[in-house]
């Protein structure tokens, strides 16, 4: 990839590794796994409450996920069969970390 015009950031190396030496998908995965483990362990209130907690924590407090990304993940989770909170978490992770992190 090349840097955007007018950007002070150097272009990413062709190997897909960030300046910190971590693959972009792995970096996103490392930052989200502890959060989802904690939420799954102590979260209660059903799927609607859990997706509310995820919005508050990931979008508003930590700012790890944009509002648009979260809304897309929630909409995707609502049309998929299975538990709402789990589907939403997998879609957020897939969006942040790529196919390898959500698979």
How far is Cα 41 from Cα 74, in angstroms, rounded to an integer?
Answer: 21
How far is Cα 76 from Cα 87, in angstroms, rounded to an integer?
Answer: 8
pLDDT at 12: 45
How far is Cα 86 from Cα 102, in angstroms, rounded to an integer?
Answer: 11
φ/ψ (deg, to 5) at 78: -70, -25
Q: For residue range 35-62, what is the model confidence (pLDDT) as tens digits? A: 888 888 888 888 889 999 999 999 999 8
Q: H-helix or E-strand containing 96?
A: helix 84-97
- Please provide the DSSP assignment of 32-44 as one string: HHHHHHHHHHH--
Residues in the chain, pLDDT under 50: 1-4, 10-23
pLDDT at 19: 43
The neighbour count for residue 42, using CB atoms within 10 Å, is 8
Position of tokens 């059903």? 46
- pTM of the model as a whole: 0.65
Mean pLDDT of all residues belonging to the chain: 75
């Amino acid at each position: 990839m090349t840097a955007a015009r007018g950007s002070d950031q150097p272009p990413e190396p062709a190997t897909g590794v960030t300046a910190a030496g971590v693959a972009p998908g792995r970096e996103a995965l490392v930052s989200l796994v502890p959060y989802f483990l904690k939420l799954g362990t102590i979260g209660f209130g059903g799927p609607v409450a859990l997706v509310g907690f995820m919005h508050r924590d990931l979008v508003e407090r930590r700012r790890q996920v944009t509002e648009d990304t979260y809304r897309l993940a929630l909409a995707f989770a609502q049309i998929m069969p299975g538990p709402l909170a789990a589907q939403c978490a997998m879609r957020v992770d897939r969006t942040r970390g790529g196919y390898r992190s959500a698979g």
